[in-house]
A = this chain, B = another copy of it.
Amino acid sequence: MSVSIFDVAKLADVSISTVSRVINGREVVHPRTRERVESAIAQLGYKPNAFARGLMLHKSEIVGLVLPDIHGEFYSEIIRGANQQARKMGYNLVVSSAHDGADSYSLLVTLEQRSLMDGVAIMISELTDRIEELLADVRIPFVILDGDVKDQAYDSVVIDQKRGALAMMRHVVGECGARRVIFVGGLETNVDTAARLEAYREVLGENGLTYDPADVYHLDYQYDTAYRLAKQELQRWVGADHCVFSANDEMAAGIVAAAGAMGVLVPSELAVVGFDDTRIAQMTRPALTTVRVPMSEMGARAIELLCDRIEEPDRPATHIVLEPELVVRESCGYAANRLKTL
């Protein structure tokens, strides 16, 4: 079959131990011997078998990143950050994701087969009991991304979703003067949506605005769905001091597009704000006021935590909280209003 360490040893006329020493370079080998071995390796095109290596060393130098769905701008930023950090720490990153129609359950089962990885960062958007149960079964080191982790024993890196949503709501109500806010979120089970909704109600209360359940919608984070909903509901929403607070930029963009199609002016007749600050926020006309979520950093911190734990399994669990940042653009009407006032 393929060439093994034994073939190299034979060609270089040394023992396999010596070949191994040359490969791993941590013990002293006589320069003359080293050269002989190296040339044998080159001549045969030898590459160590990663399985055998992993079997001995109990490590592969590969870490995984598991996402609920790989779709969209949002995730590519996480991957990007994670990738860079992994290389920096001497690991290789592989990414996997749940496929259409399958829930995170199959994602975790899959993950289990992946014991070839030294560790894994798992992004959890909907934390069900079943997932938590499965998590307890994972043998390799792991960290949780963005999940509302009850069990503080896990390493985690989360975004302070609520704080970001509070900032946005306070901007919209306090600074832009909205008197009615329509909330368009993801599914109720989604942890991000839950946090944003909490902030929504809180700020409504702070400002003496009544909370109307009919103004809260639960969608699927998609552009199209939001577009269709908006086409249908826009008439009910319109108002100079009304604002739609969408739980992500994509839906916000869909709503803005629907408004455009129906002749509703944004922001003068209806303000619309988003969340995430993906590229679509800048591409939308008017550009979306949104909340920047440090995606790339989230990926990077998660991998950093993970690699640290791999190397030091017994250190106490670390929890990193990343702060989002309000980004004011045009769709909230703040800039336009200020201009008028001045």
| Given A47-B115, A283-B283: A76 in contact with B70 (beta carbons within 8 A) | yes
- Which chain B residues lie closer than 8 Å to A331 at the CB level? none
Partner of A62, one of B87, B116, B279: B116
- Which chain B residues lie closer than 8 Å to A260 at the CB level? 285
Integer count of this chain's copies in the complex: 2
How many interface residues does chain A have, given as a range? 35 or more
B92 close to A95 (CB less than 8 A): no
A71 close to B60 (CB less than 8 A): no
Partner of A95, one of B52, B71, B95, B116: B95
- With CB as the reference atom, state the residue of chain B lying closest to A98: B83
- Which chain B residues lie closer than 8 Å to A110 at the CB level? 92
Once the chains are docked, how many angstroms separate the CA of A144 from the CA of B27?
40
Q: Which of A231-262 contact B (CB under 8 A)?
A: 253, 257, 260
| CB of A205 within 8 Å of the partner chain | no
Once the chains are docked, how many angstroms separate the CA of A94 from the CA of B96?
5
Once the chains are docked, how many angstroms separate the CA of A49 from the CA of B117?
11
| CB of A208 within 8 Å of the partner chain | no
Looking at A72, A99, A253, the one whose CB has the most chain B CB atoms below 10 A away is A99
| Distance (whole angstroms) from the CB of A210 to the closest CB of chain B | 34
| CB of A317 within 8 Å of the partner chain | no
Looking at A45, A61, A283, the one whose CB has the most chain B CB atoms below 10 A away is A283
| Distance (whole angstroms) from the CB of A329 to the closest CB of chain B | 13
| Distance (whole angstroms) from the CB of A209 to the closest CB of chain B | 31
- Which chain B residues lie closer than 8 Å to A112 at the CB level? 47
| Distance (whole angstroms) from the CB of A328 to the closest CB of chain B | 19
| CB of A64 within 8 Å of the partner chain | yes
| Distance (whole angstroms) from the CB of A150 to the closest CB of chain B | 22
B54 close to A51 (CB less than 8 A): yes
> What 3 pairs between A and B have smallest CB-CB spacing?
A94-B94, A51-B54, A51-B55
Residues of A within 8 A of B (CB): 1-2, 45, 47, 49-52, 54-55, 58, 60-62, 64, 70-73, 75-76, 79-80, 83-84, 87, 92-97, 99-100, 110, 112-116, 137, 139, 223, 253, 257, 260, 279-280, 283-285
